[in-house]
Amino acid sequence: MPVISDLAKNFLRPSVERGDSLEEICESHMSTGDGPNCLQIGGQVHIDGARKDVESSCLAITRFEGRDYFTTFSVQELYREIKQEIDERKRPRQQPLW
């Protein structure tokens, strides 16, 4: 079972790897609702029949593995974590000396 934060990072990862800025990602209002998971940046969601606003700086997960769910993540924090992971991959590794 994927961890929810990994799902959120995997949703943003292609945009960050492509070089999109944090502002471009937040303004894009990207979303996906195909399959068992629903994620979106900003906008509005319906939770238990009530409408809830999601700030453009937040990524909301409203369905996880086919079940209704609601949590939000800071796009800025996810962006920072992904950039750090990319930098670590690019960093040369020292070979063992023996």
In whole angstroms, what is the distance from residue 42 CA to residue 55 CA?
5
Residue located via tokens 């996810």: 78
pLDDT band at 2 (very low <50, low <70, confident <90, very high): low
Using one digit for the tens of pLDDT, what is the confidence trace for 17-75?
999 999 999 999 999 987 899 999 999 998 888 999 999 999 999 999 999 889 999 99
Cα–Cα–Cα angle for 17, 81, 96, nearest 5°? 85
**HSE-CB for 39 with a 13 A CA cutoff:** 19
Cα–Cα–Cα angle for 52, 56, 59, nearest 5°? 75
In whole angstroms, what is the distance from residue 1 CA to residue 40 CA?
20
Q: What residue ranges do the domains of the chain occupy?
A: 4-83
